[in-house]
């Protein structure tokens, strides 16, 4: 009988058994070391043995085993450092950062005189707070986060953006999964070499978890990852699931609804031109604003939507639909020679299809802004959020005509781009009390119950980028990124 050749995956699984339970894992293609967070050469068994017997691997494994003592030593060390420092200056540093007050405000003599008079304390300079106290406040916040999370199962949300100085920045938010609710924290911020690399994004998440657990990453406690729907984010999530096999990866459903709204914008270019030029007509002209209020009293001025802000374009289209007559009468009274935007809007208002298109958008897509508003609400039940998302997609699928056909294709696309939404559906069926099709054996009953308030949007991490924009004002762009990160962690976790 001819000898049957052993498959590559089978060879890898046999080599994984050399390490014992919980050290190595494989997806059938490569072997990953959970302790070192890297792939292991596995052409021969000797290579795996060499890695397991290496000094670096043994050192990291030893640190993981001594987790409790390490944490106690770190906290004791922090308390000792804090005792040597002025408690007033520590509290002042934390108060300024948490309130979003820049340290350079302490250079104002009136403020320092006021604080010195009523606090009877020596008021430090901004440089002193930044160099000697900010680090301690930051470490104290991290210890508070670690103490709160403890052994709770957790969810993570990560995203990247570009700040005002042109740096590529990634943020990771961590939250607890509890039956009474969920509490989230900004855990880590770092600069990236580039933003469209799945490998860099995956490494950023591992760096974040290393901060959360200095004794080693708790692979079994990470139950949920929420990102946007970018291809490299999905690829990073797929790679991370090898290390965190119990983790569900969900792409933000509010962002998915926004992508449908963007498809609507592309399908109605005339309406898009009205929205873009309508805000220009009144944005920087006090005389036109006065004329608007005179001709159309009680009517709000045209909105100024931001394309990257979810649902605002649809809200603008609904405004023009609801106030079409009033807006048209104001534009008719304007001189088209004053600005090109006036001429463009006048031509569009005379178009025969504009009114019909606005009516169509309001009738079939007017639900989208309200849907996004409900999805990003804090402390929402996962059952309610998934119901809202599914009902919205069902309503969108009922859109008639050629536009409806394109919208249905877009809905199918955003669903197919959500890796583990079908697995989350099984969880929500259980939480509704309905029989679940298929098993979810990897979760205990307690873990399933803890997903009661699991988020399915990435709004928490999006909010941290708004705070980043606020923090990087015109006069504090010279901050080193380490100091900026410490500001953000303290500011976002009051």
Q: What is the pLDDT of residue 4?
A: 56
Radius of gyration of the chain (CA): 28
Domains of the chain, start order? 8-65 (no CATH), 78-144 (no CATH), 153-252+454-479 (3.30.420.10), 253-418 (no CATH)
Q: What is the pLDDT of residue 6?
A: 65
* 152 contacts 176 by C-beta, under 8 angstroms: yes
DSSP bridge partners of 290: none
State the distance between the two ends of the chain, measured CA to CA, in whole angstroms: 71
Model pLDDT for residues 220-252, shown as the tens digit of each residue: 889 999 999 888 999 999 999 888 988 999 999
Q: Which of 31-40, 180-189, 463-472 has the lowest mean pLDDT?
A: 31-40
Model pLDDT for residues 410-435, shown as the tens digit of each residue: 999 999 989 999 999 999 999 988 87
**489 — phi, psi (to 5°)?**
-60, -40
pLDDT, the chain, mean: 85
DSSP secondary structure of 404-455: HHHHHHHHHHHHHT-TTHHHHHHHHHHHHTPPPSS--TTS-HHHHHHGGG--
Task: Name residues whose C-beta falls within 8 Å of residue 137's C-beta, 6 or more positions apart in sequence.
Answer: 90, 93, 94, 97, 486, 490
Predicted TM-score of the model (pTM): 0.78
Instruction: Work out the average pLDDT over 203-231.
Output: 84
Q: What is the pLDDT of residue 82?
A: 47
């Amino acid at each position: 009988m001819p000898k049957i050749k052993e498959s590559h995956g089978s060879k890898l699984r046999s080599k994984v058994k050399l390490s014992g339970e919980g050290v190595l894992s494989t997806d059938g293609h490569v072997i990953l070391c959970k302790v070192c967070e890297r792939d292991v050469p596995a052409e021969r068994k000797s290579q795996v043995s060499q890695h397991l017997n290496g000094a670096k691997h043994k050192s990291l494994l030893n640190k993981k085993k001594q987790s409790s003592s390490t944490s106690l030593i770190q906290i004791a060390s922090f308390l000792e450092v804090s005792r040597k420092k002025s408690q007033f200056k520590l509290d002042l540093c934390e108060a300024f950062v948490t309130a979003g007050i820049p340290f350079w405000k302490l250079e104002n003599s009136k403020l320092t005189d006021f604080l010195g008079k009523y606090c009877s304390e020596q008021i430090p300079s901004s440089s002193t707070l930044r160099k000697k106290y900010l680090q301690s406040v930051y470490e104290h916040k991290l210890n508070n986060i670690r103490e709160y999370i403890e052994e709770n199962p957790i969810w993570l949300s990560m995203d990247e953006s570009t700040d005002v100085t042109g740096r590529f920045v990634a943020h990771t938010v961590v939250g607890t999964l509890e039956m009474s609710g969920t509490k989230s924290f900004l855990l880590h911020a770092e600069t990236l070499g580039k933003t469209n690399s799945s490998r860099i994004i995956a490494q950023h998440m591992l760096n974040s978890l290393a901060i959360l657990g200095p004794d080693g990453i708790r692979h079994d406690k990470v139950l949920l990852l929420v990102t946007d729907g970018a291809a490299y984010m999905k690829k990073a999530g797929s790679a991370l699931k090898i290390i965190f096999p119990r983790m569900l990866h969900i792409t933000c459903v509010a962002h998915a609804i926004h992508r449908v709204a963007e498809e609507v914008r592309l399908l109605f270019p005339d309406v898009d031109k009205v929205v873009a030029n309508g805000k220009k007509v009144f944005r920087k002209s006090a005389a036109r604003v006065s004329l608007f209020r005179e001709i159309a009293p009680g009517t709000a001025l045209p909105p100024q939507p931001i394309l990257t802000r979810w649902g605002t374009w649809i809200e603008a289209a609904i405004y023009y639909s609801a106030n079409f007559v009033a807006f048209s009468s104001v534009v008719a009274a304007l001189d088209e020679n004053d600005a090109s935007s006036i001429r463009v809007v006048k031509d569009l208002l005379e178009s025969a299809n504009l009114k019909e298109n606005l009516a169509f958008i309001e009738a079939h897509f007017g639900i989208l802004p309200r849907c996004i508003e409900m999805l990003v609400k804090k402390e929402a039940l996962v059952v309610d959020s998934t119901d809202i998302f599914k009902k919205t997609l069902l309503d969108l699928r009922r859109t008639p005509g050629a536009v409806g056909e394109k919208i249905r294709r877009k809905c199918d696309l955003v669903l197919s781009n959500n890796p583990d939404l079908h697995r989350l559906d099984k969880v929500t069926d259980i939480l509704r009390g309905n029989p679940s099709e298929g098993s979810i054996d990897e979760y205990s009953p307690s873990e399933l119950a803890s997903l009661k308030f699991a988020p399915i949007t990435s709004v928490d991490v999006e909010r941290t980028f708004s705070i980043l924009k606020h923090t990087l004002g015109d006069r504090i762009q010279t901050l080193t990124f380490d100091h900026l990160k410490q500001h953000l962690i303290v500011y976002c976790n009051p």
